[in-house]
C-alpha cells in the first residue's frame, strides 16, 4: 500500500485517539525531549530501566524504544530483558544505535541486541548504520566516496542480515524494508544543531509502529512528521533552542494540510 | 487558619527571601525542569542520589523530595537513607509515586517508603493515589464510575492509613490533610501535554513545606501556584513546548495580584 | 599573548570549523543544555560514562569534561579511568566540582581526581573553589568578609597547589593561571536563575581548550562568550526559561561584533 500524506495522517490520528503507551529505555540527554515529543504527537511515554520492572512495563506497552546513547552494564541487562519480552508478546521494538562505531562497547551491544531479537525498526545516522552493517559482514563493502550512497547500501545490508526495517537519516532519509526503499526529503539543516532530534525520530518510530503493523510505513511516517515539523519550526525560530521549542509546538499542532502541502516522499515501488 | 491568596503569597515571599535548599532524589526525565522550577519560585535545588552522600545532603536541606519515576536498586536504597535521615531531623519529606500501579516494583517501593517514614505530603495523579490506597486496603473500595470521586476517596483512605497529607491532582486538585479537604481548580488542559509538570508540583510542595509547617497549606499553595502559572502561560503559548517556557517564566514573575485575581480555592472547613 | 575579542573570536571560528569532539561525564540535570550549548558554539558533544567505554571515548575526543553534580560510585570510577586516559594522551581535562564543600563525598572525590591527574582547568563558583582550596591547606586562610576577594585568594591557592588553571565564576569571573589573573565582567543576574549555566561554562571551557593550548586563554574565552550570550539573551527574555532559550540562540549566532562591542576583560599582565 502506498504511503501518502493521507495514510500518514491517518496514523497520526490513531496515535492521538488511542494514546499508545511507549516504553523507552533511552539515554539521559534526550529523555525530556523524547517524552515531550511523544506527548506532542499524542502518545503516552514512560521511561523505566530497572531490571526489576522492565518486563512488566514492556508487557503493558504498545511499543518499546531502545536507545543506547548513555549505556551501562545494568541498563544493557534491562534492554535484553525488555526486547525479549517484546519479542515474546509481539510488541514492536525500535533500536537507536547511538554512537555505534565510536566505541566497541556500543557496536557490540547493538549486535547482541539485534541477535537476541530482531528489532522492528533500526534507526540511525549514516555512520551508525554503516558501523552495524560492516560489523556484520567484516568487509569494507559499504565504503564509498558518496556517503549517502554508502549509507543506503549499508542500510540494505543490515536489513538483509537482521531482517529489520532500517531507517538511515540524513539530508535524505532512507527507509529500507520489505521490497522497497522509501525516501523522505523533508527537514531543515538547523535540526542538526538540536541535541536529541535523531533520538526523537526513533521514539516517534515507536509511536507509529504502535498503530501501524507495516514497519516501513511506520518509520516513513515518523521521518516525514519529524522533517515537516522541523520545516515549520525553522520558519519562526531564531536559533537551535527556539527551533526545539517551535518543533515540539509544530508536532503538537500538525495538521493534514501540513503533511499534504509539504511531504516529499519517493522511491516506493 | 484559612488558606488564601494572601497566605500563599506570604509563603512565596518566604521562599524568595530564604532560598531554602531542597534536596531532590528524582527521575531523569524531569530533573532539569524541576531544578528550574525550584529556582523560578525562589528556592535552591540540589540533586544527589549516591548512598555515600544522601544523608549528609538531606541533613543540610530544608525539605526532601522523593520521586520514583525512574527508580532502580541503588537509588531506592538512597531514598530510604534519605527519608530516615529526614525523619530523624524533622525535615519534611514529599513523595511522588510516579507510575505506582503500573508495575509492582513501583507500588511496593512506595508502600515500603511510606511505612519507613510517613511523608509530610504524598502527591500523585488519580491512578497513582488509587493504586497506593488500594494496595493498603486490599479492597476495591475506591472503585467508582466517577474517577474524581474515586480519587478523593482514595486520598482520604491513604491520608487515614499513612498519616500523610495527600494531594491528588487533576482537573480539580484535592488536598486531604487534618480535618479538611481543600480543592484547587486552577490550571489549564495543555499542562497535561508537558512532561514533568506533576513532578514539578511535587517539588514545589517541598519548597512550600520548607517555609510552612502546615503541610495541607503547603500542598495547597504549591498546587495553586502551579495552576495559576499554567493559566498565565496558556495565554501566550502556542503549544506544549512554549507552554513549558512560559510556565517557568510565569512562576518566576508571579505576583500577589496574579494569586488574588485567579485563585479558585475551596472546600476548607 | 593578550586575550582580546579578536583572539577569542578566532577560537570560536576554530571550534565552528573543526567541530571538536568533547567527551562529557557530567550530571543528569544539565546533560541536555550542555549538549545543546556545545552544539550551539560549534563543537560536537558526546556523553559516555560506562567503565567499559570511557577510555576509548576519551581517546577519540579533543577534550574531556568531568562534572560531579550527580556523582555515584561507578561514575566516579569511570571519571578516574577517563582522566588518566586523557593525561596519558595529553587531552585537556576540565573539572567542575559541583557542590564541593556540601558533602564530604564531593570534596574528597574532587581532591582525588585532582591528585590523579591535574586538570587543565578547574571551574567552579566561589564556595566550591574555596572548599577545594581549604581542603588542601587545612587552614581557614581563605576566610574573608569580602567573598570576591576570598574566592580569588582561594583560586590562587588552588592554582598553586594543583597546577591547574582555576576559574572562579561570579559577578566578576577570575581566571588564575600562569603568571596572570584575568577578570571578565560580562554576564547578567538572571543567569543565576537558570539551572546548569555554570556547568555549561565548564563544558565551553572544554570546547575552547580543544582549540587553544593556552588554558587561561581558553577559560577566559569560554567565560566571555558565556557572559556575552547571557547579556544578549537578557535583552529579549521575559524570565529564566526564555533566558535559557535566548541564551542558546545567542551562543549559536555569536558574531565578532558581539564580542568586540561587549567584552569587559581585564587584569592581564
Chains with 3+ CB–CB pairs under 8 A to B are: A, C
Looking at the partner chain, which of C46, C52, C247 has a beta carbon nearest the beta carbon of A105?
C52
Q: What is the pTM of this model?
A: 0.96
How far is the C-alpha of A209 from the C-alpha of A226, rounded, in Å? 15
Residue B48 forms contact with C (CB below 8 Å): yes
Q: What confidence category does residue C192 fall into, taking pLDDT thresholds of 50, 70 and 90?
A: very high
SS3 for C168? strand
* List of chain B residues whose C-beta atoms are within 8 Å of the C-beta of residue A196: none
Which pLDDT score, from 0 to 100, does residue B254 have?
A: 98
Looking at the partner chain, which of C39, C49, C51 has a beta carbon nearest the beta carbon of A193?
C39
* List of chain A residues whose C-beta atoms are within 8 Å of the C-beta of residue C52: 72-73, 103, 105
**Smallest CA–CA separation between C125 and chain A, in Å?**
24
CA angle C176, C178, C183 (to 5 degrees): 30
| Cβ–Cβ pairs < 8 A, chains B and C | 84
Instruction: Please name the residue of chain B whose CA is at the shortest distance from the CA of residue C237.
Output: B249
Which pLDDT score, from 0 to 100, does residue B142 have?
A: 40
* List of chain B residues whose C-beta atoms are within 8 Å of the C-beta of residue A52: 72-73, 103, 105
Which pLDDT score, from 0 to 100, does residue C142 have?
A: 40
* List of chain A residues whose C-beta atoms are within 8 Å of the C-beta of residue B237: 249
Which pLDDT score, from 0 to 100, does residue C148 have?
A: 81
Strand runs labelled E in chain C: 21-25, 44-47, 63-67, 93-96, 121-125, 165-169, 173-177, 180-184, 265-266
Count CA atoms closer than 13 A to B114's CA, side-chain side.
Answer: 28
Strands C21-25 and B265-266: unpaired
Residue A145 in this model has a pLDDT that exceeds 60: no
Residue C137 in this model has a pLDDT that exceeds 80: no
Specify if B116 maps to a domain. Answer: yes
**Smallest CA–CA separation between C31 and chain A, in Å?**
5
Average pLDDT over residues C157-179: 95
**Smallest CA–CA separation between C214 and chain A, in Å?**
28
Which pLDDT score, from 0 to 100, does residue C40 have?
A: 98
Instruction: Please name the residue of chain A whose CA is at the shortest distance from the CA of residue B71.
Output: A50
* List of chain B residues whose C-beta atoms are within 8 Å of the C-beta of residue C70: 47-50
Of chain A, the percentage scoring pLDDT greater than 70 comes to 95
Looking at the partner chain, which of C36, C52, C57 has a beta carbon nearest the beta carbon of A195?
C36
- φ, ψ of residue C25 in degrees (nearest 5): -115, 95
- φ, ψ of residue A3 in degrees (nearest 5): -95, 125
Specify if B141 maps to a domain. Answer: yes
Specify if B119 maps to a domain. Answer: yes
- Cβ atoms of C218 and C121 within 8 Å: the answer is yes
Q: What confidence category does residue A152 fall into, taking pLDDT thresholds of 50, 70 and 90?
A: very high
Residue A106 forms contact with C (CB below 8 Å): yes
Instruction: Please name the residue of chain A whose CA is at the shortest distance from the CA of residue B245.
Output: A245
**A28/C28 Cβ within 8 A:** yes
Residue C67 forms contact with B (CB below 8 Å): no
For chain C, helix (H) and strand (E) counts, in that order, are 11, 9
Question: Edge-to-edge strands of the sheet including B93-96?
Answer: B44-47, B21-25, B63-67, B93-96, B121-125, B165-169, B173-177, B180-184, B265-266
Profile chain B (269 residues) by mean pLDDT over runs of 10 residues: 95 98 98 98 98 98 98 97 98 98 97 97 96 64 60 95 96 92 97 97 98 98 98 98 98 98 89
How far is the C-alpha of A37 from the C-alpha of B210, rounded, in Å? 34
Residue B26 forms contact with A (CB below 8 Å): no
CA angle C258, C260, C261 (to 5 degrees): 65
Which pLDDT score, from 0 to 100, does residue B138 have?
A: 42
Chains with 3+ CB–CB pairs under 8 A to C are: A, B
Interface ipTM: 0.94
Q: What confidence category does residue A32 fall into, taking pLDDT thresholds of 50, 70 and 90?
A: very high
DSSP C100: B
> Which residue range forms the structural domain that includes residue A108?
5-266
Residue C7 in this model has a pLDDT that exceeds 90: yes
**A56/B71 Cβ within 8 A:** no
pLDDT tens profile A62-92: 999 999 999 999 999 999 999 999 999 999 9
**Smallest CA–CA separation between B234 and chain A, in Å?**
13
Which pLDDT score, from 0 to 100, does residue C146 have?
A: 58
Strands B180-184 and B173-177: antiparallel
**C29/B32 Cβ within 8 A:** yes
Which pLDDT score, from 0 to 100, does residue C57 have?
A: 98
Residue A198 forms contact with C (CB below 8 Å): no
Nearest to B71 by CA among B39, B34, B102: B102
Looking at the partner chain, which of C32, C72, C102 has a beta carbon nearest the beta carbon of B32?
C32
Nearest to A68 by CA among A35, A107, A42: A107
**B28/A47 Cβ within 8 A:** yes
Q: Give the count of domains, chain C.
A: 1
Which pLDDT score, from 0 to 100, does residue C269 have?
A: 58
**A28/C31 Cβ within 8 A:** yes
Which pLDDT score, from 0 to 100, does residue B135 have?
A: 62
Residue C195 forms contact with B (CB below 8 Å): yes
Q: Which three cell numbers stand for residue C195?
A: 539551572
Which pLDDT score, from 0 to 100, does residue C149 have?
A: 86
- φ, ψ of residue B70 in degrees (nearest 5): -135, 60
Residue B127 forms contact with A (CB below 8 Å): no
Residue A158 in this model has a pLDDT that exceeds 50: yes
Mean of pLDDT over chain A: 94
Length of chain A: 269
Mean of pLDDT over chain C: 94
CA distances from B84 to B75, B88, B115, B167, C239 (A): 14, 6, 11, 22, 37
Residue C210 in this model has a pLDDT that exceeds 60: yes
Which pLDDT score, from 0 to 100, does residue B144 have?
A: 44
Looking at the partner chain, which of C32, C244, C251 has a beta carbon nearest the beta carbon of A195?
C32
CATH code for the domain in which residue B157 is found? 3.40.1190.20
**Smallest CA–CA separation between C244 and chain A, in Å?**
8
- b/e string for A171-183 if b means 16 or more Cβ within 10 A? ebbbbbbeeebbb
How far is the C-alpha of A35 from the C-alpha of B145, rounded, in Å? 30
How far is the C-alpha of A79 from the C-alpha of A68, rounded, in Å? 9
How far is the C-alpha of C250 from the C-alpha of A1, rounded, in Å? 46
* List of chain B residues whose C-beta atoms are within 8 Å of the C-beta of residue A32: 29-30, 32-33, 195-196
Looking at the partner chain, which of C28, C30, C238 has a beta carbon nearest the beta carbon of B249?
C238
* List of chain C residues whose C-beta atoms are within 8 Å of the C-beta of residue B46: 99, 102
- b/e string for C116-137 if b means 16 or more Cβ within 10 A? ebbbbbbbbbbbbbbbbbbbbe
Amino acid at each position: 500500500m502506498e504511503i501518502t500524506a493521507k495514510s500518514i495522517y491517518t496514523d497520526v490520528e490513531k496515535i492521538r485517539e488511542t494514546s499508545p503507551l511507549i516504553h523507552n529505555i533511552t539515554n539521559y540527554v534526550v529523555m525530556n525531549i523524547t517524552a515531550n515529543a511523544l506527548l506532542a504527537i499524542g502518545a503516552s511515554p514512560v521511561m523505566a530501566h530497572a531490571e526489576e520492572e522492565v518486563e512488566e512495563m514492556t508487557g503493558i506497552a504498545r511499543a518499546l524504544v531502545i536507545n543506547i546513547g548513555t549505556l551501562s552494564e545494568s541498563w544493557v541487562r534491562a534492554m535484553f530483558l525488555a526486547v525479549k519480552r517484546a519479542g515474546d508478546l509481539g510488541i514492536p521494538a525500535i533500536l537507536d544505535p547511538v554512537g555505534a562505531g565510536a566505541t566497541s562497547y556500543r557496536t557490540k551491544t547493538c549486535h547482541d541486541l539485534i541477535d537476541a531479537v530482531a528489532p522492528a525498526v533500526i534507526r540511525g545516522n549514516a555512520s551508525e548504520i554503516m558501523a552495524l552493517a560492516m560489523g556484520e559482514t567484516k568487509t569494507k563493502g559499504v565504503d564509498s566516496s558518496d556517503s549517502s550512497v554508502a549509507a543506503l547500501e549499508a542500510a540494505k545490508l543490515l536489513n538483509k542480515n537482521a531482517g529489520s526495517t532500517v531507517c538511515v537519516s540524513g539530508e535524505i532519509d532512507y527507509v529500507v524494508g520489505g521490497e522497497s526503499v522509501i525516501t523522505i526529503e523533508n527537514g531543515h539543516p538547523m535540526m542538526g544543531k538540536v541535541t536529541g532530534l535523531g533520538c526523537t525520530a526513533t521514539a516517534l518510530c515507536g509511536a507509529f509502529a504502535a498503530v501501524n503493523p507495516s514497519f516501513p510505513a511506520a518509520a516513513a511516517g515518523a521521518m516525514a512528521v519529524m522533517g515537516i515539523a522541523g520545516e515549520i519550526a525553522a520558519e519562526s525560530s531564531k536559533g537551535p533552542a527556539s527551533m526545539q521549542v517551535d518543533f515540539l509546538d509544530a508536532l503538537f499542532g500538525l495538521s493534514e494540510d501540513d503533511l499534504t502541502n509539504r511531504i516529499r516522499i519517493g522511491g516506493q515501488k
